[in-house]
Structure 1
Amino acid sequence: LKPDQFDEDSLPAYDELDDILKSLIEGEHAVEDIVARGHDLETVLRVWKMLDRAEYKRRQAPPGVKITRRAFGRDRRYPLTNRFTGKV
């Protein structure tokens, strides 16, 4: 980050972001379920889109250590072609 630049300038608060990401990745919850738990629909959709757009970056990285039930890599693979977006 640049001096005087903060993550929360462009992202939700860490506690909210962590809960949304955990729900999407580890819990495999639908957007509707996350919104029903009290999160803003626009925020959840924005996080989902950022996660989806960054999928190709995870393919370029070496395999990481698996420390949770759902690790990036073999446990979570989404197609990169044909504008696949999955069920939101």
Structure 2
Amino acid sequence: MHSVILIITLALYTRLFTKAQLSKIFMAVLICFAVIALAELTYVKPLLNLTNLTYETAFANPFLRAAFALPYEIILLALSLGKNYYNHKKGLIIN
């Protein structure tokens, strides 16, 4: 249930600050959630095996939770910077 609330909240805040179309905002939010899910599926298990930790141990410790979240934050940053570069190159954003 919290994921649905988070999706709606992110979409509303983005709409509030950017005045973009709500359908495009929801699409962007859902793409970000899909990227996060795929990233976690690919790196969490190998990272847990590498560190010899259980998921419960990593989730209970705030530092480890942040450390395990860092890879998908980097992936989202790279995705947004790549999209920004593409928009500038195509002339979709005027400075």
TM over 0.5: no
TM-score (norm 2): 0.35
Report the structure number with the largest CA radius of gyration: 2
TM-score (norm 1): 0.38
Higher relative contact order (CA 8 A, sep 6+): 1
